[in-house]
Amino acid sequence: MKVKFILTMEDLVVDDKLIDRVILNWETDVDQGDILKMSHEWITSQNFLTTRMEGLTRVGESSLTIEPMEDTADV
């Protein structure tokens, strides 16, 4: 399944520099089980981002959107 991820972070600190907002978009192929696992980790882990991104030490607000993409190969 092809999905689009949109990660928005506000009031973050990277390498001791304050950054107002960062928005990351990417597309990838994942199966539904991986999406459920990632969603669960996102919801239950307070340090989900800071443990995965080098130099990131603080995030004020963040959101992760996962959108399924239409398969245009069959069109």
CA dihedral 19, 21, 25, 31 (to 10 degrees): 90
Task: Supply the pTM of this predicted model.
Answer: 0.78
Which residues, 6+ apart, have CB-to-CB distance to 24 below 8 Å?
A: 5, 6, 7
H/E element, 71: none
Q: Walk along the chain (75 residues) and give the pLDDT tens digit of each residue.
A: 899 999 999 999 999 999 999 999 999 999 989 888 888 888 888 788 888 889 999 999 999 899 999 765 554
Which residues, 6+ apart, have CB-to-CB distance to 11 below 8 Å?
A: 18, 19, 20, 58, 59, 60, 61
The confidence score (pLDDT) of residue 14 equals 95
